[in-house]
Structure 1
Amino acid sequence: MTLAIIGGSGLTELEGLEIERREMVHTPYGEPSGPLTHGRLHGQPVIFLARHGYGHTIPPHRVNYRANIWAMQAAGAKQVMAVAAVGGIHEALSPARLAFPDQIIDYTHGRASTYHDDDHDAVVHIDFTQPYDAALRDRLIAAAHEAGVDAQTQGCYGATQGPRLETAAEIQRLARDGCDMVGMTGMPEAALARELEIPYATCAVVANWAAGVGRDEVIAMEQIHETLQTGIQSVRQVLQALISGLAPPLPQ
């Protein structure tokens, strides 16, 4: 079964991927962030897409989430692992740590968030009680354990609009709402995957303490980039364990 990987900030290519071909999928919802890269990673077929474009030129609020998810399904993806950079709100989510959220709160606005908003479409209400696929999450958690990667196995992802970082007051609000981490790309990506019935789970990489949480009053982008590189190494270890069979096999 083909796994699709969406690379977020810090992951614009897959190390070790044996590229077989690149495919530009034209969708009814416009163009995706770039061509889909088909290849083999640790001997298994995968599809890779850089969410922000391969040159990291597309800001979070301008990503064509509908085209991205639709294109991956059209190309044969049967499940999606989304890698996303986040800010840590919970005290356990220190920079460079990984987390596998199990809940999400959507604070975004103005984004095309459904495939069913044309006049001729029937109203569709998806069950979003559990926004991430439980089986895929369990396999990611098992892969992290097998790879010896320290990771938070649950948490609530607060999805904000971006592209600016949040104020300290906004982070305090998110914390009161129950958010453990904050990112800008978690929605509507997760809901769109659910509409297309594609199992979807997020591997979050903590890039920095969220505003007002850490000791530094100013969040330095240079430090974020350095931290992401450390965290992405852990993501690669998890991917190797997930794909190569160290973790329980992906569902057929």
Structure 2
Amino acid sequence: MVKIAIIGGTGVYDPRILNNVYQDEIVTPYGTVQLKVGEYVGRKVAFIPRHGSSHSIPPHLINYRANIWAMKQLGVENIISTTAVGSLNPAMKPGDFVAVDQFIDFTKGRISTFYEGGERGVVHVDVTNPYCPSVRQDVFQAAKAIGIKVHQTGVYVCTEGPRFETPAEISMFAKLGGDLVGMTNVPEVVLAREAEMCYCTISMVTNFAAGISESPLTHGEVLDTMRSNTENIKQLILATIQRMDLSRNCTCRQALREFGGFQL
């Protein structure tokens, strides 16, 4: 069974970090998902490039519900996602990794739940700790073992995109307590919690945000920073996978207990 999945963000498109990779196709109520499955240290791992293999899907059009449903259907219990982010925090510099622990949602037009009434009803899922504490600890231990620095807290502000933010918006986000800004982590993290899956995000700082950066923002700048750090993030993901205890019964897996649990 495939119990682990990687959702690769900008710059993380290559499933060849895994062995014996094959293509799979999962039909969900929200559309068909193309993904790859491989192995690492004897563990099966699913891999989805969030923006498509050639970065052809903009953040506001990603089929988040289909992606999470497909992984749940495969049997995935643990998700490691990567995101490229701008920094609002001078302590979080380009090239740094951050295991975010909170988010602020400024998206506008995205469906962020599997439960819209009808046959599935309505649920109100708790997101006091939106990112799995157990998988985050795996990340910290892995980072320490291989000598990579990871900031252990960070607030991710999610915007709609695909445009970059204005300096006025960035100033507001900083006043609200944001550390990082990106366009993809919500609703992905919320849907994973509704699906009772352990979910963790490793964010890579690619630039300082608008108004903080000394120059205009470009997508090329993001890709250049990602490329220079690609090997480190791959090694961090693999070291985290190796340390995961796949037998643990995390509280994330009981997020909808009062509603009878998540049902495919």
TM-score by length of 1: 0.93
Alignment of 1:212-223 (within 5 A): 212-214=211-213, 216-223=214-221
Q: 1:16 to 1:121 in 2, by over 3 A?
A: closer
Correspondence for 2:246 among 241, 246, 251: 251
Q: Hey, what does 1:3 align to over in structure 2? A: 4
Matched, 1:38 2:37: yes
Q: Hey, what does 1:139 align to over in structure 2? A: 138
Distance 1:178 1:134 in 2: 21
Matched, 1:226 2:252: no
Unmatched runs of 5 consecutive residues or more in structure 1: none
Per-residue CA deviations over 1:111-165 (Å, capped at 9, x if unaligned) read 1111111433322010111111110111111111111111211110000000000
Alignment of 1:48-63 (within 5 A): 48-63=47-62
Asked if the contact 1:31/1:64 (under 8 Å) is kept, the reply is no
Asked if the contact 2:94/2:205 (under 8 Å) is kept, the reply is yes
RMSD over equivalenced CA pairs, Å: 1.4
Distance 2:228 2:152 in 1: 19
Distance 1:208 1:43 in 2: 36
TM-score by length of 2: 0.89
Asked if the contact 2:15/2:21 (under 8 Å) is kept, the reply is no
Q: Hey, what does 2:261 align to over in structure 1? A: none
Asked if the contact 1:206/1:231 (under 8 Å) is kept, the reply is no
Q: Aligned to 1:193, what secondary structure does the other structure show?
A: helix
Unmatched runs of 5 consecutive residues or more in structure 2: 248-264
Q: Hey, what does 1:158 align to over in structure 2? A: 157
Asked if the contact 1:94/1:208 (under 8 Å) is kept, the reply is yes
AA in 2 matched with 1:22 = Q
Using the aligned pairs only, state the percent identity: 39
Measure how far apart 1:193 and its partner are: 0.3
Q: Hey, what does 2:256 align to over in structure 1? A: none
Asked if the contact 1:149/1:237 (under 8 Å) is kept, the reply is no
Alignment of 1:63-74 (within 5 A): 63-74=62-73
Q: Hey, what does 2:262 align to over in structure 1? A: none
AA in 1 matched with 2:218 = A
After alignment, is 76-85 or 38-47 more displaced?
38-47
Asked if the contact 1:39/1:47 (under 8 Å) is kept, the reply is yes
Measure how far apart 1:42 and its partner are: 4.0
Q: Hey, what does 1:17 align to over in structure 2? A: 18
Measure how far apart 1:71 and its partner are: 0.2
The total of aligned residue pairs comes to 246
Distance 1:64 1:146 in 2: 35
Distance 2:137 2:121 in 1: 34
Asked if the contact 1:97/1:231 (under 8 Å) is kept, the reply is no
Q: Hey, what does 2:107 align to over in structure 1? A: 108
Asked if the contact 1:205/1:232 (under 8 Å) is kept, the reply is no
Q: Hey, what does 1:79 align to over in structure 2? A: 78
Per-residue CA deviations over 1:209-249 (Å, capped at 9, x if unaligned) read 111112x23113322211111232221121232233xxx44
Matched, 1:241 2:239: yes
Asked if the contact 1:42/1:240 (under 8 Å) is kept, the reply is no
AA in 1 matched with 2:204 = V
AA in 1 matched with 2:119 = H
Per-residue CA deviations over 1:56-115 (Å, capped at 9, x if unaligned) read 100000000000000011112111001111101111111111100000010001111111
Q: Aligned to 1:236, what secondary structure does the other structure show?
A: helix
AA in 1 matched with 2:142 = A
Distance 1:43 1:96 in 2: 31
AA in 1 matched with 2:237 = L
After alignment, is 166-175 or 23-32 more displaced?
23-32
Q: Aligned to 2:47, what secondary structure does the other structure show?
A: strand
